[in-house]
Structure 1
Amino acid sequence: MEQVIQKSCSDIDSHVLNYCSGYANDALKDVDEVSEHVITLIRDLLLDAGAKQDAVQAIQTELLKRFEEREHNLDKLQTNKLVRLKETILMDKQSEISSTMGLVGEKVDLDSVKGRKVESRVDKRKLEKAERKIRAKWEKRTIKAEYESSRLIQPEQKSYEEFYMAVNPLDMSSSNQGKTKDIKVDGIDLAFAGLRILTGASLTLAQGRRYGLTGRNGIGKSTLLRALSRREVAIPTHITILHVEQEMAGDDTPALQSVLDADVWRKYLLKDQESITGRLSVIERELEELGRDQEADQAIPRRLERERDDLDIHLMDIQNKLAEMDADGAEARAATILAGLGFTPEMQSYATKTFSGGWRMRLSLARALFCQPDLLLLDEPSNMLDVPSIAFLSEYLQSYKNIVLVVSHDRSFLNEVATDIIHQHSERLDYYRGNFSQFYATREERCKNQMREYEKQMEYRKHLQSFIDKFRYNAAKSSEAQSRIKKLEKLPVLEKPQTDADVEFEFPLVEKISPPILQMTDVFFEYVPGRPVLKNVDIDVQMDSRIGVVGPNGSGKSTMLKLLIEQIHPTSGLVSRHPRLRVAYFAQHHVDTLELNLNALSFLAKNYPGKGEEEYRRHLGAFGITGPLALRKMVTLSGGQKSRVAFACLGLQNPHILILDEPTNHLDMESMDALTRAVERFQGGVILVSHDVDFLDKTCKSIWQCDNYMVSKFDGTIAQYKKYCLSQQPTMTAKVQ
């Protein structure tokens, strides 16, 4: 079947083909597998992966034929009263096979079958124990491999409600009260798509602490969060978990109601309370009617009274649980969270399907903050937020009473939020107390001390070895040489401290052109007539410009950049460019411009032809895409690695002006530092939109504020702008207790 599937659908992803081939072959060998189920599953997988209908039909026909042949052979075996063994047994090798191996199902003593008995000298108990360990190990590997393969190619099937209720079971009793909410899990092994993420790692999270998870792009931070959210790591079930990873699906539900519905158990309990209250009312009416009827059967009132008592107890449990959830103050708390994330009272009544992807991401974040899980997992929450919303989220999390584990590369955000830093590297997790700045200083000092200790020992080893080599065969000094040999053997073996390779971005030298370079004069723009986006915009970009554009989401920042590159044209006003001007544009959704089924090397050669393979490799290497990474399909790269490929594309355009829309999204700390240095060295002009306060502070000379359809220069630094935004935030009357 493998050759049939590979040949018929050679144009789709190899992971899907390998999975389907392996599944089909295993199913044909297993007599318990139902042919219709197997064929349907393989057909759906191939169609979802983009296979052609006629090719899938051919595979279905061949599979059906193979299953019919299997059934015919089984019928023939049963007619002849023959039984097919699951394993091949070579009878002439019976003396080499232990009767305790259990490979053939029932225990069979093959020596007795032949009429002779050879006493085994093997300790049967030890052998059985060793075999159980080996079998358990292989079963664990098989289950894990099957899970990883299916997770790689199959989308999540469960709805949000089903997933939430499965991951966070409800306990109506008070047995969870007093239980610790601290998390301590040792020996974590984690892998994904054949790559080892963690090996024997320990996860330690304390109640009330806020942890920043840092590490290089592609190290597996998001994979770890996903494993925690699915309870693939053994976290106690009384600890509730919620993961903000992707934007929510849109429907007709109002934004405020969608946040209230996020707490699935609250919604379930309210519905159950309403149902019980209604039933109690019916019972009371029936009891009143039966009380007036003198001839009524007395067994009926007793039965109704028992039902009423049971419902009263259940209702009391529900009301206690709702009080524990603070159900009465839920709507006010949800409205406050939405307001802090930029939703006006009017927007809170809009259907969720009317919001763009960025706003839906905010809704996902609002839903998580509203639920207040014991373990809140946030994956790059600041990527879709503007400066005011980031400031609100930072302030909100600082008073969060439970555990927060956040993946972020925003230094300023981590400095404000994190009480601890977890550094993921070399398949392990290292813990540091304090915010990011304290972690960075401590880690640098620790690395220097480890390197000094390593170099000191290597020098001492070299000195001892030199003496040994010189006097080992000298009769007068042989005893001293032997003494030094013993010293050398007793020295602890120190491994050289692992240091991350430095990342450097490099934009090409800029050809000078005379001003004016790029200008917008009295520009007015609207997508829909009567609904302006920008009014009276005047801005001048020169070769030495370093302009940072800030403002709320939806205020027109990206629209202004698109006007500058002439991707769209103004409704009125003028955008003038130097005739020889080359502009390189980094789009916020740059992934849409990449062909993810190609590797980075092929993508550059296809879109920027004229260079040799070595030149493309050197250029990619200048942006941190080195070695095997350049040959991996871009769909398998992390978000930060895709961003590096996009920056490499900018470099091949030899630009005079860089226009960057949210360039720091998904970049790790080292890449952000490299981008900062590259922008500082770049000799052309730079205009960028970003919500990373630290990045803006280091790269921009002037800050322009986009708000109320206008773009105006902000008189002050980015730190002052952030304080201004905080002063405009609504009062957090429903802050987390």
Structure 2
Amino acid sequence: MIQLTNLSKSFGGQTLFKDVNLKLSPGQKIGLVGRNGSGKSTLFKIILGEESYDSGDVSIPKNYMIGTLKQHLVFTEKTVREECALVLPEDEQWNFYKIEKLLFGLGFSAEDLEKDPLSFSGGYQIRINLVKLLATEPNMLLLDEPTNYLDLPSLRWLKGFIKEFEGEVILITHDRDFMDAVTTHTMGIQRKGLRLVQGDTHKYYATLEMEDETYEKTKANQDKKRKELEEFVARNKARASTAALAQSKQKELDKMDEMEDLQNDATLSFNFKYKETPAKIVLRAEDLGFGYNPEAPLFQGVTFALEKGKRLAIIGKNGKGKSTLLNYIAGELPLQQGKLDFHPSTTFAHFGQTNIERLNVSSTIIDEIASVNKDIGIPESRSIAGRMMFSGDLADKKIEVLSGGERSRVMLGKIIATPANLLFLDEPTNHLDMQSIDALADAIDAFEGSLIMVTHSEMLLRRLADALIIFHKGGAEYFEGTYDEFLEKIGWEEEEGAAPKKKKPKINHKERKKLRKAVTQERNELRKPYTKEIKLCEEKIEALEAELEMKNAALEKASNTADNDAIMELSREAGLIQQEVDALFERLEIATEKDEEIVAEYELKLEEIDA
């Protein structure tokens, strides 16, 4: 198996990771997490031999084949079948059945196999590369954002494939639901180190949070003790009568390890501005239809009423018209068929690719955010920019120098600066990391208004969608119900004949709140003895530390008058108090860990309710 030993890598004086170690075990499927720019893709390139490293060792067994999904698209053959067959060994060059099975699994039709690879959209070209990877039958898969450009049916197929894959996998994806469904372990690059935890991302982050809290409490206790020792040594080392005692304290001080402050990454902070509306129905759509070619419309007969607080998701395969429908409803395209009736009080904010492209490239981030709302000034615009991770001087950068992901964050900043009661969101999770997606989902969930969203994220669909418009079977269909109800009652054509899934009862917004309240009350009851113990320990520690300060003040006075007997007695008493404080800190740590375990367990229960 692959083994990394004391591996370090820096770029331009910035350390990505240092002295990291990993020994991959047979059958492990690892989700690799970390903030954007932390070095995840670089670690992949090092394992593949495409990037050098500063120190350490990478050990890969002989004849151990690693497969990776290439993002660079180069096609040389005239048909999809022949292009994919290129990767087969010479004795299998005409084993088209193997290729066809993979192609059909990723949504290609029999007719598609005879088409030129270059005639397909970018998403389908990525799938062709994925087939070429899987056909080589690698021992291990390194998958860097394989979910990019894949629609929901293809994502579900790939999820099943990775689950059944018998080799090892390391996966990078911003789609937490996808990662948790296919991996056995979660590994993260954090604070320039590598941490591996058995379990999903929720277990990983809960473990890190508990470790960080324990570290912070230990550090605070140690810092206080260090200061007291340093002050005692400084007062007593010059006197012959107390020099020996001071020297003993200095030795104790020298043995103490230096604990550095924890560095935490910035994250996006969302809070959509809700504009009050008396409307019960914010939008009615009747028999909507549109096509760039009138003889081949993308959709027809789409009818629905969007109530206040309703969350509607538009889903389906790529290239079928999902974004077009969203833009059509938002007034970005001329009306062809049907009728759109907005309530007079309806005000919307629209996040989509067309809006991002309209950013004024000569404006600064601050000015661009401020331009959407005359009621906000530069200070509030700067605050919003900071929440979008453009703090300080970064907020004064011009749009023209920003990357695609940074421009998306500016557009999100404009959206949250806009008072609205209806949000249009087209793939809002693109370019966001896992923590930022969670923050976005929380903000949408807290938003009192309505939502129409295009997304390929099953996590967002399960958590947020009350109703769907599904592009499938040659048209677009409104479905009153959740995503899981759609899968149970209708499902994707590609999955027809699969084993039926257990029915999951519909939970509407009000029922979800009731369930959350009941689970929260149960959690709080279980926490009571531990929170009581935590409070007791903290109060006793506070009283003892006050007493210790008094002893130290008396000790300082005794040392100033060279009263050796008092010094010895006060040192003994202070030592006993310190022992009692240390014991209380141990009790506090145990109670805190128990409390955190309960919180983590019930957090999973709350997530199941939200799912």
The answer to whether the superposition gives a TM-score over 0.5 is: yes
Report the RMSD for the aligned CA atoms in angstroms: 3.5
Match in the other structure for 2:511: none
Provide closer, same or farther for how the CA distance between residues 714 and 440 of structure 1 changes in structure 2, counting only shifts above 3 A: farther
In 2, the alpha carbon distance for the partners of 1:442 and 1:626 equals 29
1:244 and 2:65 correspond: no
The 3-state SS of whatever aligns with 1:531 is coil
Q: CA deviation at 1:392?
A: 1.0
In 1, the alpha carbon distance for the partners of 2:164 and 2:489 equals 19
In 2, the alpha carbon distance for the partners of 1:702 and 1:514 equals 19
Match in the other structure for 1:189: 9
Paired letter, 2:260: E
Provide closer, same or farther for how the CA distance between residues 582 and 714 of structure 1 changes in structure 2, counting only shifts above 3 A: closer
Tell whether the 8 Å contact from 1:546 to 1:685 is kept in structure 2 after alignment.
Answer: yes
Match in the other structure for 2:41: 222
Q: Deviations over 1:464-515 (max 9, x none)?
A: 3455466667776554343222211211222233333454212224243535
In 1, the alpha carbon distance for the partners of 2:183 and 2:401 equals 30
Q: Where do 5+ consecutive residues of structure 2 fail to align?
A: 53-57, 499-611
Q: CA deviation at 1:561?
A: 0.5
Match in the other structure for 2:17: 198
Q: CA deviation at 1:190?
A: 3.7
In 1, the alpha carbon distance for the partners of 2:69 and 2:355 equals 22
In 1, the alpha carbon distance for the partners of 2:489 and 2:231 equals 63
Paired letter, 2:448: Q
Tell whether the 8 Å contact from 1:464 to 1:488 is kept in structure 2 after alignment.
Answer: yes
Match in the other structure for 1:421: 186
Q: CA deviation at 1:393?
A: 0.6
In 2, the alpha carbon distance for the partners of 1:431 and 1:718 equals 32
Provide closer, same or farther for how the CA distance between residues 549 and 602 of structure 1 changes in structure 2, counting only shifts above 3 A: same
Which of residues 489, 495, 506 in structure 2 aligns to 1:729?
A: 495
In 2, the alpha carbon distance for the partners of 1:631 and 1:331 equals 56
Larger Rg: 1
1:444 and 2:209 correspond: yes
The 3-state SS of whatever aligns with 1:549 is strand
Match in the other structure for 1:213: 32
- Aligned pairs for 1:566-585 (under 5 A) are 566-579=331-344, 581-585=346-350
In 2, the alpha carbon distance for the partners of 1:598 and 1:230 equals 42
Q: CA deviation at 1:574?
A: 1.0
Which of residues 232, 236, 255 in structure 1 aligns to 2:51?
A: 232
In 1, the alpha carbon distance for the partners of 2:364 and 2:46 equals 27
Tell whether the 8 Å contact from 1:217 to 1:641 is kept in structure 2 after alignment.
Answer: no
1:647 and 2:472 correspond: no
Tell whether the 8 Å contact from 1:377 to 1:405 is kept in structure 2 after alignment.
Answer: yes
1:490 and 2:315 correspond: no
Paired letter, 1:198: F
1:340 and 2:105 correspond: yes
Higher mean C-alpha deviation, range 388-397 or range 614-623? 614-623
Tell whether the 8 Å contact from 1:191 to 1:198 is kept in structure 2 after alignment.
Answer: no
Give the length in aligned residue pairs: 491
The 3-state SS of whatever aligns with 1:721 is helix
Q: CA deviation at 1:647?
A: 0.5
Higher mean C-alpha deviation, range 488-497 or range 696-705? 696-705
In 2, the alpha carbon distance for the partners of 1:398 and 1:585 equals 37
Tell whether the 8 Å contact from 1:217 to 1:639 is kept in structure 2 after alignment.
Answer: no
Tell whether the 8 Å contact from 2:370 to 2:376 is kept in structure 1 after alignment.
Answer: yes
Q: CA deviation at 1:354?
A: 2.3
Match in the other structure for 1:710: 476
Higher mean C-alpha deviation, range 715-724 or range 456-465? 715-724
Provide closer, same or farther for how the CA distance between residues 500 and 628 of structure 1 changes in structure 2, counting only shifts above 3 A: same
Provide closer, same or farther for how the CA distance between residues 445 and 661 of structure 1 changes in structure 2, counting only shifts above 3 A: same
- Aligned pairs for 1:355-366 (under 5 A) are 355-366=120-131
In 2, the alpha carbon distance for the partners of 1:200 and 1:252 equals 44
Tell whether the 8 Å contact from 1:422 to 1:432 is kept in structure 2 after alignment.
Answer: yes
In 1, the alpha carbon distance for the partners of 2:149 and 2:420 equals 27
- TM-score (structure 1 length as normaliser): 0.59
Match in the other structure for 2:596: none
In 2, the alpha carbon distance for the partners of 1:407 and 1:243 equals 11
Which of residues 303, 319, 324 in structure 2 aligns to 1:554?
A: 319
In 2, the alpha carbon distance for the partners of 1:692 and 1:513 equals 32
Paired letter, 1:222: S
Q: CA deviation at 1:397?
A: 1.0
Provide closer, same or farther for how the CA distance between residues 235 and 598 of structure 1 changes in structure 2, counting only shifts above 3 A: farther
Provide closer, same or farther for how the CA distance between residues 185 and 475 of structure 1 changes in structure 2, counting only shifts above 3 A: closer
Tell whether the 8 Å contact from 1:639 to 1:667 is kept in structure 2 after alignment.
Answer: no
Percentage identity across paired residues of the two chains = 28
Q: Deviations over 1:671-725 (max 9, x none)?
A: 1121112212323211112222222233333344332313221544538738975
In 2, the alpha carbon distance for the partners of 1:731 and 1:538 equals 30
Q: Where do 5+ consecutive residues of structure 1 fail to align?
A: 1-180, 271-321, 733-737
Q: Deviations over 1:394-423 (max 9, x none)?
A: 111122233322211212211121223221
The 3-state SS of whatever aligns with 2:460 is helix
Which of residues 405, 414, 418 in structure 1 aligns to 2:170?
A: 405
The 3-state SS of whatever aligns with 1:527 is coil
1:528 and 2:293 correspond: yes
Tell whether the 8 Å contact from 2:159 to 2:178 is kept in structure 1 after alignment.
Answer: yes
In 1, the alpha carbon distance for the partners of 2:130 and 2:297 equals 29
The 3-state SS of whatever aligns with 1:365 is helix
In 2, the alpha carbon distance for the partners of 1:507 and 1:719 equals 29
Paired letter, 2:478: S
Provide closer, same or farther for how the CA distance between residues 725 and 684 of structure 1 changes in structure 2, counting only shifts above 3 A: same
Provide closer, same or farther for how the CA distance between residues 437 and 356 of structure 1 changes in structure 2, counting only shifts above 3 A: same
In 1, the alpha carbon distance for the partners of 2:489 and 2:227 equals 58
Tell whether the 8 Å contact from 1:252 to 1:353 is kept in structure 2 after alignment.
Answer: no
- Aligned pairs for 1:220-299 (under 5 A) are 220-229=39-48, 231-233=50-52, 238-246=63-71, 248=73, 253-261=78-86, 263=87, 266=88, 270=90
Q: CA deviation at 1:254?
A: 2.2
Tell whether the 8 Å contact from 1:546 to 1:687 is kept in structure 2 after alignment.
Answer: yes
The 3-state SS of whatever aligns with 1:345 is coil
- TM-score (structure 2 length as normaliser): 0.71
